[in-house]
Amino acid sequence: MTVKEIRSAARRHIKGHMGTAVALSVFKAAFIIAWLIFELLLYVILTHHGVDYGYRPSYLFGTHFGRFMMLVRILALLFVYNPERYILDRIYIDLYTGRNFIETRRYIQHNSRAVHPRATLSMMLPMMLKLVMFSPLFISSYGIYYWGFSKHTASLTTFGLFVFMISIGFTIVWTGVFLNYCISISMTKYIMLLNPRANIFDACDLSVKIMDGRHAQYIRFMLSFVKYLPLLLLFYPWFMLEPYYKMSCCAFAESVMGNYWQDKYPAMIQRWNKYAR
């Protein structure tokens, strides 16, 4: 499918479900705002008891314990947010396919002990893999900053200049490798959303197979949304643009996955409805 056809399919599938899609965006925004309010209340309480240093940048990034606690808070946020993110993305697939998302939501709620751990893993593992692939890029970027900006020209040695040039070349090359890897595993999420019992590593391998030779198509699809970025500076358009973007992603995933687009949830819900009574 072309980008124009994908957009047309997204508009066609979202028709009649815009209210529900906007409500999903509102829920996501409310979750983020609730977390910010929690952090604000925690800051007020700590400040009241004289331990406001826990929020100082010099403590959070300048000490080992501060960095450790920052990592713990980020992981806590991810472990709380990712299951909800999984559910929201799954509801978008239901809206796209025309299924009753309420049944899916009820199924996930009654089987949360089995669904939530796999949902968290399916969302966090690709993120961790991308982070691992990004690590060399971070190191080389720091090399550019250290030898090119923090060091004075007079103190720059021949070795420093050599490392600086190597860092620039490596950063350029690895940026392409990193983007290529991110595109290759981009379908992992949809594979796990369609079949939550699939192995996450097999899903990553299947995503690489599906996206082989489709990187340019994916880039064109993502670049088609660049013109909407100025609207994101405003608050309210985001609630309209996100549903359109999510539906477009579902249409793109269906087009590139082909026969691999097999939704296992309806059969799982049907069996659960049969034996849960």
The total of other beta-carbon atoms located within 10 Å of residue 150's CB is: 8
- The reply to whether 92 falls in a domain is yes
Q: What tokens were used for 66? A: 């501060």
- The reply to whether 276 falls in a domain is no
Q: What is the pLDDT of residue 277?
A: 56
Q: What is the pLDDT of residue 155?
A: 59
CA dihedral sign of residues 96, 105, 127, 184: negative
Q: What is the pLDDT of residue 184?
A: 92
Q: Please identify which residue in the block is written with the tokens 């966090």.
A: 124
Residue (of 74, 93, 83) closest to 113 by Cα position: 83
Distance CA 102, CA 239 (A): 21
- The reply to whether 26 falls in a domain is yes
User: For each of the chain's 277 residues, which pLDDT tens digit applies?
Assistant: 777 888 888 888 888 788 888 888 888 888 888 888 888 888 888 777 776 666 677 777 777 777 787 888 888 888 888 888 888 888 989 888 888 888 888 888 888 888 888 888 888 888 888 888 888 888 888 888 777 776 655 556 777 778 878 888 888 998 999 999 999 999 999 999 998 888 889 999 999 999 988 899 999 988 888 887 777 676 667 777 888 888 899 999 989 988 888 888 888 888 877 776 5
pLDDT in tens, 64-95: 777 787 888 888 888 888 888 888 888 989 88
CA dihedral sign of residues 260, 265, 270, 275: positive
- The reply to whether 277 falls in a domain is no
Q: What tokens were used for 259? A: 């026969």
Q: Confirm if 257 and 190 have CB atoms less than 8 A apart.
A: yes
Intra-chain end-to-end CA distance of the chain, in Å: 43
Distance CA 54, CA 41 (A): 13
- The reply to whether 208 falls in a domain is yes
Q: Confirm if 96 and 12 have CB atoms less than 8 A apart.
A: no
- The reply to whether 185 falls in a domain is yes
Q: What tokens were used for 39? A: 């952090």
Give residue 1's identity as a one-letter amino acid code: M
Distance CA 74, CA 76 (A): 5
* Count of structural domains, the chain: 1
Is 175 buried (19+), middle (13-18) or exposed (0-12) by CB count in 10 A?
Answer: middle
Residues of the domain holding 24: 3-271
Q: What tokens were used for 154? A: 């007079």
